[in-house]
Structure 1
Amino acid sequence: MATELTAAQLRAYDGTDASKPIYVAIRGKVFDVSAGRGFYGPGGDYALFAGCEAARALAKMSKDAADVSGDLSGLSDKELGVLADWESKFQAKYPVVARLAA
């Protein structure tokens, strides 16, 4: 996995262009969630995570756009545990296709 994407490049994979895959980043790992297009594509329950780093929102179980970021500061141990569970689920279900550039 040599590919690295900037946050701006990642936004191009938000599901609005049907010819491109849908990507969601968690703790810097970029997952191809195209198989879950119904969830992550436009109109899907988790569409707001598409094309974004979603670690904070997943940890907080939040669909608030303000939480869609990679900022883990101030999260509780419980929230970090929830994030670890999400990360495991993504790793089991979706391929990692890139790293998010720092």
Structure 2
Amino acid sequence: MAGKFEPKVPVQLDPPKDDPISPEELAKANGENGGKCYVAIKGIVYDVTGNKAYQPGGAYHVFAGKDASRALGKTSTKPEDVSPEWRDLPEKEQSTLNDWITFFSKRYNVVGKVQGATNFE
């Protein structure tokens, strides 16, 4: 089922960037006051600014400005699960996390990598 993560409406994405984004810059990109909204997964930063779900008041705002790898693997929106650590997750949750990476990579521009991140593949 290669197409299961395809967006319903085709998305024109920019070439991925690997600009360093400091953890402080990432934290500021939380969609507050109409600003940029980024979510990182395994240290890769995606620009989710256009999706209301990640904006303040949205269902996924808990992920905004953070590396949400662990929470995505666990399919959790609990603030305590939002963490870059994912390597100790069970295989099934790691697989879910990889599905989320596929999902994000087909919908959102990669704007950089978290500076100093150690949670890449």
TM-score tier, shorter chain, comes to: over 0.9
Query: For the residues of structure 2 that align with 1:32 and 1:15, how far apart are their CA atoms?
Result: 10
Residue 31 of structure 2 corresponds to: 15
Residue 47 of structure 2 corresponds to: 32
Query: For the residues of structure 2 that align with 1:65 and 1:58, how far apart are their CA atoms?
Result: 11
Q: 2:55 aligns with which of 41, 46, 50?
A: 41
2:101 aligned with 1:87, yes or no?
yes
The 10-residue stretch of structure 1 (40-49 or 8-17) with the greater mean CA deviation from structure 2: 8-17
Structure 1 residue 71: Cα displacement: 0.6
Structure possessing the higher radius of gyration over alpha carbons:
2
Query: For the residues of structure 2 that align with 1:17 and 1:84, how far apart are their CA atoms?
Result: 31
Structure with the largest fraction of helix: 1
Q: 1:2 to 1:92 in 2, by over 3 A?
A: closer
Query: For the residues of structure 1 that align with 2:64 and 2:25, how far apart are their CA atoms?
Result: 12
Structure 1 residues without counterparts, runs of 5 or longer? none
Q: Return the letter of the residue paired with 1:94.
A: Y
Instruction: Figure out how many residues of one structure are paired with residues of the other and give that number.
Output: 100
CA-atom RMSD in angstroms: 1.0
Query: For the residues of structure 2 that align with 1:59 and 1:84, how far apart are their CA atoms?
Result: 8
Q: 1:86 to 1:2 in 2, by over 3 A?
A: closer
Structure 2 residues without counterparts, runs of 5 or longer? 1-16, 117-121
Structure 1 residue 8: Cα displacement: 1.5
